[in-house]
C-alpha cells in the first residue's frame, strides 16, 4: 500500500538527526577496538567533539531531507537509515579514516529492514532485483579497485559501496550511475584538498560515497525540473 509522506518527510529526518547526534557518544563508547589498530585506544576515542557533532547533524539533516523530499515516497525509510546510522558511520570515517566493521553491519541490517518497510509502502518487488544486482556489481568493482589500489582504498569502502548502489538503485539505475560519478568527483576533490593541506596518510573516501546518491537526486531534480 503506497504511503503519502508530506509532513513526515520533513519531521522524521529532523528526528533522525536529533537521535543520531544525541546517540553518537554512546555508540562510540561501545564500538570495539578495530583489528590492526596499533594504539591503546580505538581511533575514535577522541570523538565526539562539538565541531564533529555539528558536522554530523548538518550532513545528516541535509541528506535526510534530500532523500525524503526528492526520492520516491516508498523509499523514505531507506533514506532515514542513510541519514542515521550510515551518517554516523561515515562521520567516523571522515574524522579517523576508519569505518568500524560492527557499525557497518548494523547499517547493512538496518537497510535490509528498511527495504521490507519500503515494500509495504509500495516499492515494486521487481525493484529488489535491480537493487541486488547493483549492490553485487558495486561490491565486485570496488573489490577489484581495492585489490589493485596499493592500499589507497580501504576495505571498509568495499563494504560501503553495495549499500550506496542499493539505495540509489531503489530510485533508478540513472541514480546509481550519477551517484557514483558524483561521489567519485567529490572524493577526488577531497583527496586533492587533503594533499594540498599536507595531511599525512590517506583520506576518507566513505563520506564522498555516502553523499553521492543524495547529490544525484538533487542533480536529477534540477535537470527534470
Cα 56 to Cα 50: distance, rounded to the nearest angstrom: 10
User: Using one digit for the tens of pLDDT, what is the confidence trace for 157-208?
Assistant: 999 999 999 999 999 999 999 999 999 999 989 888 877 876 665 679 999 9
Name the residue ranges covered by the structural domains of the chain. Answer: 8-224
Average pLDDT on 24-39 reads 90
CB atoms within 10 A of CB 27: 19
Give the residue among 56, 55, 69 at the shortest CA–CA distance from 16.
56
Mean of per-residue pLDDT scores for the chain: 92
Residues 6+ apart with CB under 8 A from 209: 90, 157, 160, 161, 164, 180, 183, 187
Confidence band of 1 (pLDDT split at 50, 70, 90)? very low
Q: Is 184 exposed, middle or buried (0-12, 13-18, 19+ CB in 10 A)?
A: middle
| CA dist., res. 104 & res. 89, Å (int) | 7
| DSSP-derived 3-state class of residue 78 | helix
Measured CA to CA, the distance from residue 43 to residue 161 in angstroms comes to 22
**Distance separating alpha carbons of residues 165 and 172, to the nearest angstrom:** 10
CB 205 within 8 A of CB 180: no
pTM confidence score: 0.93
pLDDT digits (tens, 9 = 90+) for 124-160: 999 999 999 999 999 999 999 999 988 788 999 999 9
- List the grid coordinates of 127: 525493484
Non-local (6+) Cβ contacts of 26 within 8 A are none
Concatenated DSSP letters of 3-21: ---TTHHHHHHHHHHHHHH
Quick check: 2 pLDDT over 60? Answer: no
Q: In 3-state terms, what secondary structure has residue 104?
A: helix
Give the CA count within 13 Å in the CB-facing half-sphere of 212.
31
What is the C-alpha to C-alpha distance for residues 128 and 166, in angstroms, rounded to an integer?
Answer: 9
Amino acid at each position: 500500500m503506497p504511503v503519502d509522506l508530506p509532513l513526515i518527510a520533513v519531521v522524521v529526518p529532523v528526528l533522525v538527526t536529533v537521535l543520531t547526534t544525541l546517540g553518537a557518544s554512546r555508540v562510540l563508547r561501545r564500538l570495539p577496538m578495530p583489528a590492526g589498530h596499533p594504539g591503546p585506544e580505538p581511533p575514535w576515542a577522541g570523538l565526539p567533539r562539538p565541531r564533529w557533532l555539528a558536522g554530523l547533524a548538518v550532513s545528516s539533516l541535509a541528506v535526510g531531507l534530500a532523500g525524503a523530499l526528492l526520492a520516491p515516497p516508498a523509499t523514505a525509510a531507506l533514506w532515514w537509515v542513510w541519514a542515521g546510522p550510515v551518517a554516523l558511520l561515515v562521520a567516523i570515517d571522515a574524522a579517523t579514516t576508519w569505518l568500524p566493521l560492527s557499525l557497518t553491519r548494523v547499517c547493512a541490517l538496518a537497510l535490509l529492514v528498511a527495504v521490507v518497510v519500503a515494500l509495504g509502502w509500495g516499492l515494486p518487488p521487481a525493484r529488489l532485483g535491480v537493487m541486488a544486482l547493483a549492490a553485487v556489481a558495486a561490491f565486485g568493482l570496488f573489490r577489484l579497485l581495492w585489490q589493485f589500489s596499493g592500499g589507497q582504498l580501504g576495505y571498509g569502502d568495499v563494504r560501503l559501496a553495495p549499500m550506496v548502489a542499493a539505495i540509489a538503485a531503489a530510485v533508478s539505475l540513472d541514480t546509481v550511475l550519477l551517484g557514483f560519478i558524483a561521489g567519485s568527483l567529490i572524493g577526488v576533490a577531497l583527496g586533492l584538498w587533503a594533499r594540498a593541506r599536507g595531511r599525512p596518510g590517506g583520506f576518507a573516501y566513505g563520506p564522498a560515497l555516502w553523499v553521492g546518491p543524495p547529490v544525484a537526486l538533487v542533480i536529477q531534480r534540477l535537470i527534470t525540473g
